[in-house]
Amino acid sequence: MSLFGFLTNPMELMVVALIALLFFGNRLPSVMRSLGRGVVEFKKGVAGIEDEVENAAAPKKQPEQKAVDGETGEAKV
């Protein structure tokens, strides 16, 4: 199965590219740049969600507490 489902051969891809060129013309580079930025932002958002899920699922470590001598205020070893 192809990426888009309906674009199964190179000729169809060329037709779609030609139509995009006709519609967007000189704006095509800026349209592609905007599309690329959108994809990057989407990937950043997905990565952020994955990090949050991993942090929530990871067990939280309790900090070690050292015993303190009441008279001198120094840590006991």
User: What does pLDDT average to in each consecutive run of 10 residues of the chain (77 residues)?
Assistant: 64 87 84 92 92 80 63 60
* Nearest Cα to Cα of residue 31 among 44, 15, 13, 17: 17
- Tokens 């779609």 sit at which residue? 16
The whole-number pLDDT of residue 41 equals: 95
Distance CA 13, CA 22 (A): 14
The whole-number pLDDT of residue 42 equals: 95
Distance CA 35, CA 41 (A): 10
The whole-number pLDDT of residue 1 equals: 47
Q: Which two tokens stand for residue 58?
A: 């990871």
The whole-number pLDDT of residue 40 equals: 95
* Nearest Cα to Cα of residue 52 among 61, 42, 44, 41: 44
The whole-number pLDDT of residue 72 equals: 65
The whole-number pLDDT of residue 64 equals: 65
